[in-house]
Amino acid sequence: MTRRRLLSTIEQPHCHHRRRFLGISLATAATLASPAALAKIGTERERHIAFLNLHTGERLRTTYWANGSYLDEGLDEINHILRDYRNDEVTSIDPELMDILHRLQLKVGCKGKSFEIISGYRSPATNAMLRAKSSGVAKRSLHMEGKAIDIRLPGCDLAHLRKAALSLQAGGVGYYPKSGFVHVDTGRVRSWG
């Protein structure tokens, strides 16, 4: 065997192990950077959230996460208050959306105040109806997947709320100052308005 071929044979398994190690490291880093993983490694023991549904008048203050896990009871209460109030249809709201709102509230310094809900879950029928009335409603809105919410926060300037949401780099942020709300979702990072 020539020296060149011997080196090639020796280096190949080493390169394979290095590539495998790098692949595993990148996959582990990506997993740890995901919002779900970040939710589990925080130092908080509990996460609370409060809502006022402007359409129904319902209020909710609940613990949705404790000791490293999402709480079914808290998530069920959130699913109910964020339902499509037009037809009472309920869906599962993405828990990562609650984490974004929780972080947003901490960032703007309004901990404990209730988010006012402009729009939570929208059924496909409701979304189609709203889309027929307004060009500002997306055909494939994340509201229909329980991954978006339109909110405002009393005592917090809307522009400040938008700026804080953008700084999180956690999903989509839409700004609707004329309508008086900020849209937040768990989709890819982007902004408009």
State residue 131's pLDDT score.
84
- CA atoms of 178 and 149, how far apart (whole Å): 17
Average model confidence (pLDDT) across the chain: 83
Short-list 50, 150, 164, 155, CA closest to 107? 164
State residue 124's pLDDT score.
94
Does residue 75 come out as left (phi exceeding 0), alpha (psi in the -120 to 50 range) or beta?
Answer: alpha
Q: Which residues pair with 48 in a beta bridge?
A: 63
- 181 touches 150 (CB < 8 A): yes
Q: Which two tokens stand for residue 102?
A: 């929780």
| Total length of the chain | 193
**Residue 22 — very low, low, confident or very high, per pLDDT cuts 50/70/90?**
very low
- CA atoms of 134 and 137, how far apart (whole Å): 6
Question: Picking from 81-95, 102-116, 147-161, 166-180, which range would have the lowest pLDDT averaged per residue?
Answer: 102-116
Please report, for residues 3, 39, 84, 106, 126, the alpha-carbon distance to residue 184 in angstroms, rounded to integers and kept in the order given: 61, 18, 17, 15, 19
Q: Is the pLDDT of residue 170 over 60?
A: yes
Pick 134 or 174 by higher pLDDT: 174
